Amino acid sequence: MASAIASTQTHAPRAAARASARSERLRARAIEVLALTPSGLTADEIAAKLDESVLAVRPRVSELFHAGAIEKTGDRRPNASGLPAHVWKKTAAGA
């Protein structure tokens, strides 16, 4: 049992680093797709354009918003579940 715990402790930092790198790549790709779509996109639309799960993209959109890289356009469009979703665009200062 001790070796299983040691193995988990050894692999945890690497797994966290991979997850962090994936998150960074998704944020960068989301910014790229928004830069190519000045009218803006919902998180679901970003996910579709990136061929990624919306569950992976929505948190990245939130992170980009809180970092000031993207902003709400004021528009809303229905998402896959039919609910109104914010339309996002890259800010002038966006990465």
Residue 8: is its pLDDT beyond 80? no
Which tens digits make up the pLDDT trace of 50-69? 999 999 999 999 999 999 99
The share of the chain scoring above pLDDT 70, in percent, equals 83
In terms of pLDDT, which residue wins out, 10 or 77? 77
Q: What is the dihedral of CA 90, 83, 48, 41, to 10 degrees?
A: -20
Strand-pairing partners, residue 41, are: 88
Q: What is the DSSP string of 11-25?
A: HHHHHHHHHHHHHHH
SS3 72: strand
Domains of the chain: 2-90 (1.10.10.10)
Label residue 82 by pLDDT band (50, 70, 90): very high
Residue 2: is its pLDDT beyond 60? no
Strand-pairing partners, residue 76, are: 86
